[in-house]
Amino acid sequence: MMPDQRLWAPWRMRYVQGERKDEGCIFCLAGESGDDETRLVLHRGRRCLVMLNAFPYNSGHLMVSPHRHIASIEDLDDDELLELMTLTRSALRAVRQTYAPDCFNLGVNEGEIAGAGFAGHVHLHVVPRWAADSNFMAVTADTRVLPQSLGDSFAQLREQFAEVP
């Protein structure tokens, strides 16, 4: 970037300052809500749900979480753990079908220091990656450029989850 050029992303100020529209856990609120599009919920299982990350690292960045507000995988019952992993597999397939990534990063967030903005509710991130997704913006400007809006991501991925039982 030239020194006199600016890249403005004013919608990110809410995130940077830690402000949230909702009071409470985003995963619990998503589980309780009937408005899947507003909450970015792509699929609801009996024990877990899949949702888009509202502040993604890449387009198609999903999160899988149990319905129960629980802090650790260690405390999930066997049925919750199985569904968490089964929906993670479905998420991988949906993102692979929609975006054709080169690979994925999968990560479980447990606890605030681990990067969990909602430390009391364990969740698993599914982040698609491409060979060319690290470009000069991330390296020199600490900025991510996402090629697709959340609305478009939601619409495309929602179609893929229509097939998931």
What does the DSSP 8-state code read for residue 131? T
From the list 61, 121, 123, 125, the catalytic residue is 123
The answer to whether residues 146 and 59 touch, using CB atoms and an 8 Å cutoff, is yes
Instruction: Give per-residue burial for 124-144: e unless 16+ CB within 10 Å, then b.
Output: bbbbbeeeebeeeeeeeeeeb
Q: Which of 11, 12, 36, 48 is nearest to 124 (CA)?
A: 48
123 catalytic residue (yes or no): yes
Q: Which of 136, 137, 147 is nearest to 56 (CA)?
A: 147
Q: What's the sign of the alpha-carbon dihedral 15, 129, 94, 86?
A: negative
What does the DSSP 8-state code read for residue 50? E
Residues with a catalytic annotation lie at: 123
